[in-house]
Amino acid sequence: MNFRYLIPALWAVAALCGCTTASDGGDTTPKPTPGGYADPDGVWILNQGAPRMENGSLTWIAPDGTVEEQVYRTVNGSAFGNTAQDLWCHDGKIYILSNNTTVPDKGSGEAADGSLVIVDAETFRREKVFRFEELTFPRPEGSTEEDEYLPLTTPLENIAVIDPHNVFISDEQGLFRLDVTTGEMHIVEGSYAFGNQGSTIEAIASTRGMTVVGDRLYSAGGGFWSSTKLFEFQSGRDAVVRSLDLQGEFVSGICRTGDRELLVATCGRSGSTNSFLTFVDLDTWSVKLEKPVKADISAEFMNSSGVTLSGDYLYFAAGTMTVSRLSLKTWKIEEYIHVSDDAPGAAYLTCNVVADPVKNLLYVSVSDQLGEAIVSDGNVLVYDCSGDEPRLVMNLENRASYPVNIYPVSRFR
């Protein structure tokens, strides 16, 4: 797990999907509530595992609180991938993204299915697999590479889905649009810049907090290679549609605060308290409010968003064992949860904290070790945050292995 802290992975995801309405021409016919592993009251935990010891896995928390481990293996008899990174649910399908360029050389030595595995959301039955070597894109103009088609680089980072023809995948180079019906993939222009005299594509568009609204995808980016911006991408297009300048050096995450409003969190270097919250109106493509924040709200080097929203509070931990919250009404910041009180043996966050705004619950994943060849003891702590004081309502001990992100299914409704 410590390899994720050594490589400056700049991106992660807080997945949100909107329902179509008559105003945007979509189908407003009520759809039946899905069941099985797609029940909106359930929660998926995506486990990276110790990559040299374990393949990735998925833990399911059912609506009644029952916990089921190794869901994919139970249904399909195999592992979906090694070094799991992210997932997205759309239209009854789950898209699971993993590096899957190695096998657990100190573990079972089992080769997993692929880098992108698509399953039925209700049953978790495997439907389609893309191996790493199949995920290639045409060489962009200006590259000094000789091959006509170039591979992605690992670690892969995040995934977001508008529809099967518009599956956006990110790695350290940039953002790519994949049509899973044909396997055709293109780099999204404007999501990258050329560095090192053109031999390397350096990332600009950070996918940490990547958000879908209708047929548009939003992510922020910048930092080392460009000024910080909010980007808009569109279904069927391989280029940035609009960009908006932002304050702050690096991207922490994005939260959807309304049907047509986003909150973008930016920050300075790790440990810095030079942070900003920017509220953006998507219709006018303008800043409604920009608020400086004297706190470290960075996502560290994790794939998941560094900030998460529930009710009137924004929660963050910045890689520490203390969860703080910021009131969007008073702008007061307070330390809210001291995780070591409930998991005294834990020393590390495995992913950033995740809120379920429907239930006002907060998920915190911790472990006692971080090592790519160490199977660690760990806890997934679930807090009720509806009151002034947090209340621990569930403590999953050793039911997950190095979670890389946690997904209340209701986020995809």
pLDDT value of position 209:
83
Segment (H or E) for 213: strand 205-213
How confident is the model over 378-408, as pLDDT tens digits?
A: 999 999 999 999 999 999 999 999 999 999 9
Q: Measured at the alpha carbon of residue 215, what is the angle toward residues 210 and 220, in degrees to the nearest 5? A: 25
pLDDT value of position 212:
95
- Sheet with 333-338: strands ordered across: 308-310, 313-316, 322-327, 333-338
Residue type, 27: D
DSSP state of 337: E
Tens of pLDDT along the chain (413 residues) come to: 443 333 333 333 333 333 333 344 445 566 778 899 999 999 999 999 999 999 999 999 999 999 999 999 999 999 999 999 999 999 999 999 999 999 999 998 999 999 999 999 999 999 999 999 999 999 887 778 889 999 999 999 999 999 999 999 998 888 999 999 999 999 998 777 654 334 455 566 667 889 999 999 999 887 655 788 999 999 999 999 999 999 998 899 999 999 999 999 999 877 789 999 999 999 999 999 999 999 999 999 898 899 999 999 999 999 999 999 999 999 999 999 999 999 999 999 999 999 999 999 999 999 999 988 999 999 999 999 999 999 999 999 999 999 999 999 999 98
Residue type, 150: L
Q: How far apart are CA 335 and CA 325, in angstroms?
A: 7
Q: What would you report as the CA-atom Rg of the chain, rounded to the nearest whole angstrom?
A: 20
DSSP state of 191: S
pLDDT value of position 174:
84
Neighbours of 394 (CB within 10 A): 16
Q: How far apart are CA 361 and CA 86, in angstroms?
A: 21
Sign of CA dihedral 366, 371, 372, 376: negative
Q: Extract the tokens encoding 257.
A: 């605060």
Pairing type for strands 354-356 and 361-367 reads antiparallel
CB contact at 8 A, 55 and 39? no
CB contact at 8 A, 308 and 316? yes
Residue 302's contacts (CB-CB under 8 Å, 6 or more residues apart) are 4, 9, 12, 319, 349, 351, 352, 404
Q: Map tokens 């407003």 to a residue.
A: 28
> What domains can you pick out in the chain, each with its CATH number?
3-412 (2.130.10.10)
pLDDT value of position 344:
96
Cis geometry, peptide bond prior to residue 155 (ω within 30 degrees of 0): yes
Q: Give which of 52, 51, 178, 201 is closest to 116, Cα–Cα.
A: 178
CB contact at 8 A, 374 and 53? yes
Q: Give which of 280, 283, 284 is closest to 266, Cα–Cα.
A: 280
pLDDT value of position 83:
97
- CA-to-CA separations, 336 to 1, 363, 377, in angstroms, rounded: 26, 13, 24
Segment (H or E) for 5: helix 3-6
- CA-to-CA separations, 196 to 202, 225, 272, 367, in angstroms, rounded: 9, 12, 28, 38
How confident is the model over 94-148, as pLDDT tens digits?
A: 999 999 999 999 998 999 999 999 999 999 999 999 999 999 999 887 778 889 9
pLDDT value of position 247:
93
Residue 94: alpha-carbon gap to chain centroid: 14
pLDDT value of position 145:
84
